[in-house]
A and B are shown apart, each in its own frame.
Chain A
Amino acid sequence: MEVYAAKLGRGGQIVVNGFFLLLSACIVAPFVLIVSVSLTTEEKLYELGYSFFPRGFSTLAYEYLFQSPGVILRAYGNTVFVTLVGTLLGLLLTALIGYVISRRDYRFRSPLTVFVFIPMMFSGGLVPFYILMTQYLHLKDSLWAIVLPGLLSPFYVLIMKGFMGKIPYELVESAKMDGAGEWRIFFRLVVPLSTPALATLGLFMAFNYWNEWFNALLFINDDTKVPLQLLLVRIMNTLDFLRNNSEYIQSLGINMSQFPNESVRMALVVLVAGPMMFVFPFFQKYFVQGLTVGSLKG
């Protein structure tokens, strides 16, 4: 392939690379803008609007956020909890069922496979789900309301099953000869052998949990249970309210322009999205692997 790539003439190389540099710039621009705004003073913002260079550089917004970090730290804590517990439990459940239906000698293999995949085609929709969660499982205002719904996806089971199906049956057979039970075989043999699949799917799950806001939006009202993404939604709504009712706010004697609200919320966005942006490119390799596994089948 290198040979094929190298055949493009020098002029062509410049054009194509130019195209990609432009495209990259377009993709990165919003991030640059948000970082820039978070570092701009409030007066300059009102004067000049959002711009790509922080004119009137100031770290006030970050200082403001770090002064009383309680809310953010708690949101971080909630998100970390949800991500860790969700990913570990989700991997366990996915691996267990994926392994069992990958075993060709398992008697209930086909009915179980059908059982797992029917939900891929038909679901009851949002309302029955909502009612199940709130009226029957009583999970409103519980972090489990964010963890539980995303634990197991038939699609991930499909990928897991495909991977585990490739583990030679002879290995399982010989472990059995040595007197290992199915539990032992699963945890001591199958799980270690499936590390690549577990890592890939784990990464996908962690990513989904980190960015989760839908279930939080539906089920979380309690201020102490708010995860990062929902915190952002709330900040947005509050500040929209303040902005749309500025006369009312002023009548209370609060001067909006003193309060670094524009830059503070952008600083908050940076703090929420930032870690993800730095961490995940390193895992991109695994994502790519996961994608190719996924695209092989569906």
Chain B
Amino acid sequence: MNIANEAVPERKAAKKRAPRIRKGDRELSLLALPSVLYIFVFSYLTMFGVAIAFKNYRYDMGILGSEWVGFANFKFFFISEKAFIVTRNTVLYSLWFWVVTTLCALLVAILLNEVSRRWSKYYQTVMFLPTFVSWVVVMFLTQMFLHHDFGFVNRALQDLGLERVRWYLELSHWPAILTLAHLWKSIGFSALVYYAGIVAIDPSYYEAARIDGATRFQMARKITLPMLTPLIVILMIMAIGSMFRGDFGLHFFVPNNSPLLFNVTDIIDTFVYRALAVSGDVAMAAAVGLYQSVVGFVLVVAANYTIRKISEENSLW
């Protein structure tokens, strides 16, 4: 009896509500409308645009009018040795940058915690400065050091009685130069992330360790690092998720877009840009871009899946 009595009005209410949209919902939808339209145009329309990768795109015919060519654009890219080179560079640089930056940032963060708060503020500000300049500016800064005639490094080598180096012609130095440039620009940001993690560690752990007579080094190894491990792991998985996306600015500007260096500096992003803006090979650029997007998508999904397994609250969805 009771159950029936209660159930009936509820069902009635549900029925009454279901087909109509509440006034509040309508207003909220209206609030969201500009952003929804924006996202639709700039994100979803470009997703449909991947059709270009399967077409012989012609500007005068548009996306719909151009002729389908199947996988020809992909074939063109993958049978060239370029596919291997740019993929290798993109992946290796991504992973290598992550390893180097993480190790240095951890060291800096741990040491930052050892100096007084006042000094740590100054150091942080200084380390943050490169974050505020664009890669274009970094290109000029790099030239200051590496310019063949006037560059600081070559002048210093000369003063030491050594040979000048033609930096912008020699392949073998560039992995190191790019690593340094990347580290210089990203260390402040990364160190801060880990520093925030260290500050959040419960001080009583250190208190207890000190009573047990632990040294600073032991504390760092047995308390700080293990406590930071979840953060490190999550950032690592995210780095793997985005390893197919390189840093265009770094690879385009720092080597000054020098064709001689492409073998060691070129990544998918710069390759696509050149195919589009320089050689005008729109369809092939689209195919390579799609290859990057699809592999990137798989990696992001896999990375998120892994993070979910480790810690649910850190996953993106």
Chain A residues close to B by CB (< 8 Å): 1-8, 12-13, 16-17, 19-20, 23-24, 26-28, 30-31, 33-34, 37, 45-46, 48-52, 92-94, 96-97, 99-101, 103, 105-108, 112, 115-132, 135, 148-149, 151-152, 157-158, 176, 181-183, 186, 207, 211, 213-214, 217-218, 229, 232-233, 236, 240, 262, 265-266, 269, 272-273, 276-277, 280-281, 284, 287-288, 291-292, 295, 297-298
Contacts and interface: CB of A to CB of B under 8 A. Distances in A.
B44 A119 contact: yes
B151 A218 contact: no
A2 B317 contact: no
Given A49-B154, A115-B39, A272 B137 contact: yes
A107 B29 CA distance: 9
Q: Which 10 A-B residue pairs are closest in the complex by CB-CB distance?
A: A128-B49, A125-B289, A124-B46, A97-B35, A182-B27, A119-B43, A127-B286, A211-B134, A49-B155, A30-B141
B274 to A, nearest CB: 11
Nearest to A45: B150
Given A49-B150, A211-B134, A27 B127 contact: yes
B263 interface: no
Contacts of A19: 111
Given A27-B130, A126-B273, A99 B42 contact: no
Nearest to B60: A135
A122 B253 CA distance: 26
A265 B132 contact: no
Contacts, number: 283
B82 interface: no
Interface residues of B, number: 106
A274 to B, nearest CB: 10
For the residues of A in contact with B, the DSSP-based class is: helix
Contacts of B30: 182
A117 B316 contact: yes
A182 B31 contact: yes
A182 B24 contact: yes
B114 A8 contact: yes
Given A96-B32, A108-B29, A292-B196, A269 B46 contact: no
Contacts of A262: 150
A124 B55 CA distance: 15
Nearest to A207: B132
B116 interface: yes
Contacts of B24: 105-106, 176, 182
Contacts of B48: 124, 128
Nearest to A184: B27
A4 B203 contact: yes
Given A2-B117, A5-B115, A214 B62 contact: no
B28 A100 contact: yes
Nearest to A3: B203
Given A93-B34, A107-B22, A135 B289 contact: no
Contact of A233 (B47, B119, B136, B196): B136
A261 to B, nearest CB: 12
Interface in B268-317: 269, 272-273, 276-277, 282, 285-286, 289-290, 292-293, 296-297, 300-301, 313-317
Contacts of A276: 132-133
Contact of B150 (A5, A50, A213, A273): A50
